[in-house]
Amino acid sequence: MVHPTRRQLIKGAAATVGAMSIAPGLMAQAAPVRVGYAIARTGPWTGGAQVSQEPNYLLWAEQQNAAGGLSVKGVKRPIELISSDDRSDVETCVRSYEKLMGSDKVDLVLPPWGSNANFAVAPLANRFQYPLLAPTALSRRLVEMKLPYFFLLLQQPKAMCDALVDMLKANKVKSVALIYVDDLFGLENFAAFKVALQGSGISLVEDKSYPGGVKDLSPVLRSMKDKNPDAFVGFTYPPDTILASKQAKEVGFNPKFFYASVGTAFQLYKNVMTPAGAEGVLGMGSWNSKTSPGAKAYFDAHTKKFGGKEPDRWASGACWAGLEILTAAVAKHGLDRKAIRDFVADTTHKTIIGDIKFTGSENTATPGTVSQWQNGEFEVVWPEKLATAKLNPTKPAWK
């Protein structure tokens, strides 16, 4: 059964999650822009969704409403968020979006969290003709589906794996061991990594898949330790990223390069592992507060609003960039979804993480990147032209 839809009106500094009516003054001023989404508030997707996406949706609506509302072709209209818990369940997610777009007929939709949910919802958004700018979907298959209303903001597996292998090769890595979650995200990244390794001179000494929700990775980590690779790579989700890191520490597996994602870019990772324990760990990351003045303003506003909770240094930036693009599209074209789609598809967008330009569904302007924890900050270290700090080529011992 689908959870009841929550309606939110966010005005000024108040962000209320719950049912509330539209203030009469706002109704008199202009009808609200109804923006719908389903997101994980319970279940295994919650960690990622509640770090990388929903906080940004709340902050965006609050900031727009504090400025008088979302500019719709010059007319300020308050944002009303209509949202529900997808319970980390693909079927619930699809039903929720079908209702939002089909019967509720909201003005705009924001995407769910993760590759699997977006893979399920993308064809639906295309059918109902709702532009969807997804900040947490990594899938070559989604690009190949050629859905004109669906856009992927993150760098895709090939770009990320090419950057990672380029960094390893430049630092004379000869051997790597790898684990990956047995789903769309893990399988596509593993495939892209194997292609990137071809001709690199780097040997893959062991690779192992694992099921979602895994509770123990120590046997495979011990096996990898015995092979003594120069590098470890994990295409992992936030709970598994932390599990692999903790258990690598326990079994004494400390290769020169230790790379894991998703979740390495989260403040949570640094908190759980401690800054000293996280030092030198690599992962998927693409920005931090040094990246641009806009990135710093966003970072500070997010951290202040959520009581010290920082945005993650990868997908949070892409999520905010997507909201920037949507805001600009509505300011120029109003709520004409076809015109919004065309604007998104045909424009080079200036965002907090740099220029974004789509080729079909794929953001081809943002190159693949690698980040590393250094002195409490997740620094972009590769490629060097985008680096916010120099790569530390030898991870210190776990602490």
Domains of the chain with bracketed CATH: 6-154+295-360 (3.40.50.2300), 157-289+368-386 (3.40.50.2300)
The separation between the first and the last C-alpha atoms of the chain, rounded to the nearest angstrom, is 45
DSSP label at 136?
S
Assess contact for 233 and 241: CB atoms under 8 A.
Answer: no
Burial class, 301, CB count within 10 angstroms (exposed 0-12 / middle 13-18 / buried 19+): middle
Q: Higher confidence at residue 13 or residue 117?
A: 117
The strand pairing partners of 11, in sequence order, are 14
* Helix locations, 129-283, DSSP H: 140-144, 157-170, 184-197, 218-227, 238-251, 267-273, 275-278
**Stretch (H or E) spanning 66:** helix 54-66
36-63 confidence digits (pLDDT tens) = 999 999 998 999 999 999 999 999 999 9
293-352 confidence digits (pLDDT tens) = 999 999 999 999 999 999 999 999 999 999 999 999 999 999 999 999 999 999 999 999
362-378 confidence digits (pLDDT tens) = 999 999 999 999 999 99
146-161 confidence digits (pLDDT tens) = 999 999 999 999 999 9
185-217 confidence digits (pLDDT tens) = 999 999 999 999 999 999 999 999 999 889 999
pTM assigned to the model? 0.90
Q: Is 56 helix (H, G, I), strand (E, B) or coil?
A: helix
**Phi, psi of 30, deg, nearest 5:** -170, 150
Tokens of 191: 């495939």
* pLDDT given for residue 7 in this prediction: 45
What count of other Cβ atoms lies within 10 Å of the Cβ of residue 227? 12
The strand pairing partners of 320, in sequence order, are none
pLDDT band, residue 13 (cuts 50/70/90): very low
81-125 confidence digits (pLDDT tens) = 999 999 999 999 999 999 999 999 999 999 999 999 999 999 999
* pLDDT given for residue 24 in this prediction: 44
Assess contact for 49 and 40: CB atoms under 8 A.
Answer: yes
* pLDDT given for residue 27 in this prediction: 41
* 1 pLDDT more than 60: no
* pLDDT given for residue 15 in this prediction: 37
* pLDDT given for residue 55 in this prediction: 98
Which positions ≥6 away from 145 have C-beta within 8 Å?
Answer: 122, 123, 361
* pLDDT given for residue 29 in this prediction: 63
Angle at 314 between CA 309 and CA 315, to 5 degrees: 85
384-395 confidence digits (pLDDT tens) = 999 999 999 999
226-267 confidence digits (pLDDT tens) = 999 999 999 999 999 999 999 999 999 999 999 999 999 999
Which residue in this structure is represented by tokens 């210190």?
396
